[in-house]
């Protein structure tokens, strides 16, 4: 599993400034996001095989990293088609 992460201030800024989704604009929703970061992210991190910090990466850079990962034979160990 690949986990995409960014520092909390970056996540909140992205949510506040995006225009294609209203979620995260209110103080209550931002508190909810902070709670998820504190409670859910550690669980995801424990299960992740790879973490990609997207804070300073373009979408293209993230895609390039995924392609590189997918080309590694070790990345496919234990992966089965469903």
Residue 77 has a pLDDT of 61
Tell whether 81 is covered by a domain.
no
For residue 2, the SS3 value is strand
| Number of separate domains in the chain | 1
Q: What is the DSSP string of 7-61?
A: -HHHHHHHHHH-SS--TT-SHHHHHHHHHHHHHTHHHHHHH-SEEEE-TT--HHH
Tell whether 65 is covered by a domain.
yes
Backbone angles phi, psi at 15, to 5 degrees: -65, -40
Tell whether 28 is covered by a domain.
yes
- pLDDT profile of the chain (82 residues), mean per 10: 95 95 95 97 94 94 93 66 42
Tell whether 33 is covered by a domain.
yes
Q: What global pTM score does this model have?
A: 0.78
Residue 72 has a pLDDT of 83
Range of the domain at 14: 2-75
Residue 74 has a pLDDT of 73
49 is written with which tokens? 């095989």
């Amino acid at each position: 599993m690949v986990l995409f992460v960014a520092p909390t201030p970056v996540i909140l800024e992205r949510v506040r400034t995006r225009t294609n989704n209203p979620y995260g604009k209110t103080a209550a929703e931002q508190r909810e996001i902070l709670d998820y970061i504190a409670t859910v992210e550690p669980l995801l991190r424990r299960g992740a095989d790879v973490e990609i910090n997207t804070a300073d990466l373009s979408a293209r850079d993230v895609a390039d990293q995924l392609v590189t990962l997918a080309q590694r034979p070790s990345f496919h160990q234990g992966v089965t088609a469903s």
